[in-house]
Structures are given as structure tokens and as C-alpha cells.
């Protein structure tokens, strides 16, 4: 997963937060206008979007002479993937998860409990979408089989 620089994050925020006409994607000009407080050149925004497309963070579609860009995944899916990668940094995944669980607020703990309960229910009824509206793919049992982890081995 790609960690985003400040400008990349600002551009992704425009895409994630739904710039006008974002359902069909946005043009470089629309992104530049949404970032008007940053006084960026059109070509700078175009370069950032092109690099984000190369990283797989955005999808683009040709419309006439211009491209329309949209986020390849939701902000929540991106953050969840960063969290999973952080767990792979080393040490004990279990210890990190326990420490994380102890650090969340009561409301956040309720959200986690509901998500885990819904996931447990999904195991017996995969056709039922359950109460979770933005599902994130569960990690593979073998960390080396995750996308971007080919050929990597890690001892746990």
C-alpha cells in the first residue's frame, strides 16, 4: 500500500469527499479548483493525479481530450489496508491488536464488536451483506499471499 505525501493526500481528499460531478470522476481542472487555496499549477495537479494512477490509487477514464479520475477504493479501505500493513511491521500481531483494542474509546469498541459480530454471522451466511456497508477484504491467512507481498517471508 502506498503512503501518501501531503499533496497526494489533499488530492485524494478531493476525490474521496466528492468534488462536484465526482460520481463519474473529476477532471484535473476540477481537482485544481477544489484545491484553490493551495495555489497549485494545473500541471502540478495533473502530475499528482498521473502518479496516483500509476500507484493504483486512482482510476482514470478518457473523456474527449481529458481524463476523468476517481478513487480506486474508499478512504476507509485505504486506512484499513494501512492498519494491516502496520501489523506486519514486526513483533506480535496479537500484542499490537490487544494494545490497539485497549486504546479505543467505548464507542469505537462498540463499533469493533458490532463489526466482529457481523463478520462472525457472515461466516454462516455469506450471501447476507449484514449491517456493514463498506466491507474491507479480510487479510489472507498467509501474509506472503497478500497483494504486494509476493515472495516476502516473515517469521511471527
> Domain boundary residue among 20, 55, 71?
71
CATH number of 45's domain = 1.10.10.10
Give the pLDDT means over successive 10-residue stretches in the chain (156 positions).
86 84 81 90 95 94 91 93 87 87 90 89 57 43 39 36
Separation between Cα atoms, residue 2 and residue 135, nearest integer Å: 20
Range of the domain at 118: 75-137
Examine the domain organization and report whether 24 and 67 are in the same domain: yes
**What's the predicted TM-score (pTM) here?**
0.67
pLDDT at 23: 66
What is the pLDDT of the chain when averaged over all its residues? 79
Examine the domain organization and report whether 55 and 22 are in the same domain: yes
Give me the residue label for grid cell 498521473: 50
Long-range pairs for 18-22 at CB < 8 Å and ≥24 separation?
Answer: 22/70
Separation between Cα atoms, residue 143 and residue 145, nearest integer Å: 5
Examine the domain organization and report whether 84 and 121 are in the same domain: yes
**Helices (H) and strands (E) in the chain — how many of each?**
6, 2
Domain-located, residue 144: no
Task: Domain count for the chain, please give it.
Answer: 2
Examine the domain organization and report whether 47 and 92 are in the same domain: no
Amino acid at each position: 500500500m502506498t503512503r501518501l505525501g501531503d499533496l497526494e493526500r489533499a488530492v485524494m481528499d478531493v476525490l474521496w469527499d466528492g468534488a462536484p460531478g465526482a460520481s463519474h470522476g473529476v477532471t484535473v481542472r476540477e481537482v485544481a479548483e477544489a484545491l484553490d487555496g493551495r495555489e497549485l499549477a494545473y500541471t502540478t495537479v495533473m502530475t499528482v493525479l498521473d502518479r496516483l494512477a500509476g500507484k493504483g490509487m486512482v482510476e482514470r477514464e478518457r473523456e474527449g481530450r481529458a481524463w476523468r479520475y476517481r478513487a480506486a477504493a474508499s478512504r476507509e479501505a485505504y486506512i484499513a489496508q494501512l492498519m494491516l500493513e502496520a501489523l506486519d511491521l514486526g513483533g506480535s500481531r496479537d500484542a499490537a491488536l490487544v494494545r490497539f483494542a485497549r486504546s479505543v474509546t467505548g464507542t469505537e469498541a462498540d463499533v469493533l464488536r458490532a463489526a466482529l459480530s457481523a463478520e462472525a454471522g457472515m461466516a454462516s451466511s455469506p450471501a447476507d451483506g449484514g449491517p456493514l456497508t463498506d466491507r474491507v477484504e479480510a487479510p489472507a491467512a498467509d501474509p506472503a499471499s497478500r497483494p504486494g507481498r509476493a515472495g516476502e517471508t516473515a517469521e511471527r
